[in-house]
Structure 1
Amino acid sequence: MLIEKNVPLRGYNSFGIHARAHTLVRVTSEADLQALREDALLATQPKFVLGGGSNIVLTGDVKPVVLKVEVPGKRLVAETDKAWIVEAGAGENWHDFVAWTLDQGYPGLENLALIPGTVGASPVQNIGAYGVELQDRFEALDAVDLQTGQSFTLNAAQCAFGYRDSVFKHQGGLGLEGRALITRVRFHLTKAWKPVLGYLDLEKKMAATGVAAPSARQIFDWICEIRRAKLPDPQVIGNAGSFFKNPTVSTEQCADIIARDPRVVYYQLANGTVKLAAGWLIDACGWKGKSVGNAAVYEKQALVLVNRGGAENPATGGEVMTLAKAIQTSVYERFGILLEPEPVVV
């Protein structure tokens, strides 16, 4: 178990915000967590689990013990006539893992290409893109109870997946926020693979290339191209990806918004509700390109907030949240919808 003190966190959060961890412990195995429980000074202190740092906004130094998840490993766990079961350590880079599955001949995760973060963070957020959510490919995960030190396994039902939601984002009752650290995640990738193509950007790629039946690798490449064209690279411009969840409304609410602004972008869901494009709502309120201090709305995609100050004078967590709250107020006043942030505010 490697313990570090007064650790700068700018390189550990994709927004590039300056903050420090009073204490940081690098977790590479379950043994590290057991050693942590046996440390008289650290065992009773509050803990904060940190993966790839791509979905957090740091508003100050982190006083709880930061558990930096770095559990490695990628492997085929089992193979049946119908599917491959593949596993990755929680510290593995998500995009690299998706690429690895395709290299091994295991399709199914290609629509989730280039999503920033680690494998361990993927079920917490129930990441999703271009018609596929993590829960659609999920088999099970292993985790450790930070209070008791006991290892346990959860299936999809026990994870209580929702839209950008899971049991790991809730406290109290069966909620596991702050109580558990995910060590490994397994995925069920069917051999009866079918492409998921029901998005306009992918339809445009099919039309432009003349490829009517793309392979998983082709879809992977297309989605990488689409995301790179629309979204800023965190290595170049600090950001936390999509900052707000796409809100879900009733058919009646959507009809009311359409009556006022027929240009609204929306998607009809199977359960009869309607998902609105949060980026469109923000753009319609005139926020694209605007800023508060060094925090700004990305000029190419209003759903993304960015750090315009760079490494020398980065945006603060306070500036990011002031901008986010101003956007929420503006969208609510015009459309009657309160946008919900995706990142965890620390």
Structure 2
Amino acid sequence: MPRSEVLIDPDVTARRWPFPVRGSVLVVRPDPETDSGGDESTENAERSPSEFEEIRRVLDAFFDPRDHDYVGPVTPADLETKYGIAVEEQEKIQNLLDRLGGCYQLAVWDSNPDAARLRAEGKCIPKPAGMFMKTLDRLDWIPGAERQHLGKLGIYLPQLPMWLRSLVTPEQWSALEKRAELRRGEYVMWLNSPPPVPADVVIGPDNVLYMCHDDGEWLPVGSDIDGAEWKVLDGLDHELNPVSYDVAMLILNEMGLFQHGATAGWLAWTPPEAAIKRQVLSKQTRMTVFRPGEPPRRERSPRPEEARSLGDLPTLTDTGLTSRAYLWIARTRPTDTSNKPTGRNPDA
């Protein structure tokens, strides 16, 4: 008996969909007569008491403020394993800044550490614009996500181990309950009424989301590098030029970095856009800052009223959103004479 395949065409008529192309979602369910489980199993085993020590380590690391709040120099290895920026990606950023005359700095938010090697080794497609779901991280392993799928977009039916409740703090248990509720809702949504997608998506028998790479190979969708603040170095007397931001982001995009996000550096043109920008910025407390000729550093993330340029780019895997299309969008946003991109933050 073949696997069952269900093609779902997402309904976008009642939703705001800003992208020029949308795809369909193909759900491939396992064949019970031939799929015996193992790595491809869609059954999520509940964590057992014998795994408590590992669970405790995951929770301690997840809630440890020392890594989250750290400010200061960071080694390439720590930047990859703790903050999710692969060593190869760090080198690309640093090389670009060194070649641009020492005028600019670039700061990025943290990514999922489990996706860093997947991106660096070409084993995933970084999450494109329009895929608003978060990738599976180490906290998801506790309610039942498969370890080999961490760093990828995937769905699973969470099973909270009730024996664990009395052994963790109320804050930790509350976080697990919220994560389980979120993932349960995503599981139901993607299998029944999926959200709009920028290109065709296949949900495989392993419950991982796949997209087609430019070379025709279907790969898991993985975490991207989020948030890019492009600034003139302190002490220089010229203002940020929005064109320089666009060019730099395009170069990084062609290098395989900064895969999705707002165009034109997320200069918010409308009150709703400004509200979204403030909301996203308010959740971030630290960024990794790259400067020419210097090792990267962890620094305070700008507050909503401080950021001048924040955002990143669509990938070429976003069908219809090529580099040329990006430039067109970036230069033709609706403006008026009082709100043009001069390098200053229009929504500060």
Normalising by structure 1, we get a TM-score of: 0.23
Question: Between Structure 1 and Structure 2, which shows a larger proportion of strand residues?
Answer: 1
Question: Between Structure 1 and Structure 2, which shows a larger proportion of helix residues?
Answer: 2
The structure showing larger relative contact order (alpha-carbon pairs under 8 Å, at least 6 residues apart) is: 2
Normalising by structure 2, we get a TM-score of: 0.23
